[in-house]
Every structure is written in C-alpha cells, then in structure tokens.
Amino acid sequence: MNLTKEQWWSQLQEDENAVIVDVRTEDEFNRGFIPGAKNIDIYKGQGFIYEVEELDKTKNYYVYCQAGMRSAKACSVMNELGFATTHNLLGGMSEWDGPVEVQ
C-alpha cells in the first residue's frame, strides 16, 4: 500500500507490530535513515530475496528508499513472497521531513 509521509508516519507510530525497512544502498543508508530502520539493499537482487526471506512475515513492514520507486518494487516482491502487510513511503527520503539518524 502506498502511503503519504503523514499516513506512513502516523500508522507506524501506532503499530506495535511494525518493522521499518530501508531498501537503499549501504552508502545512501549511512548518509541518513529513519530511526530503527533495517537496511536491506534491493540492488543486491537475489541477496535481497535471501535477507527478506529471513524476516517475520507476520509483522507489518514500512518500506522506503530515496524517491519511492525501489520501495514500491520491494513491497511488490515482499507481497509475492507472502508478506501480508507492506507500506510504501511515497516520495521516500527525498520528501521525508521526519526524524533522521546518521551512522
């Protein structure tokens, strides 16, 4: 499901079953990420699939990238793999004005 930053953040705040996934590259992630995010680079191809398969499919996933395209693809892949709930952050980090951490 595609959500605006306001919808994404408010749902995340109220979701006790939430997991945040950043699908950008490690370099992008290290420049700043949403607190609590797990970095799984979608550009790793099969490596991305392997890492995602290790996740708990009963959780609710809040996924983002830089602009919203890679995370939309990641949500689609995760849904195909049996994940029930994925939320894509429209606009990604390029439009994010919420909290950010830096490695």
Catalytic amino acids?
Answer: 65
* Interstrand relation of 85-89 and 38-39 (parallel, antiparallel or unpaired): unpaired
Helices (H), the chain: 5-14, 26-30, 46-53, 69-80, 92-95
Which among 44, 76, 80 is positioned nearest to 63, based on CA atoms?
A: 76
Maximum Cα interatomic distance, the chain, rounded to a whole number of Å = 32
* Interstrand relation of 60-64 and 18-22 (parallel, antiparallel or unpaired): parallel
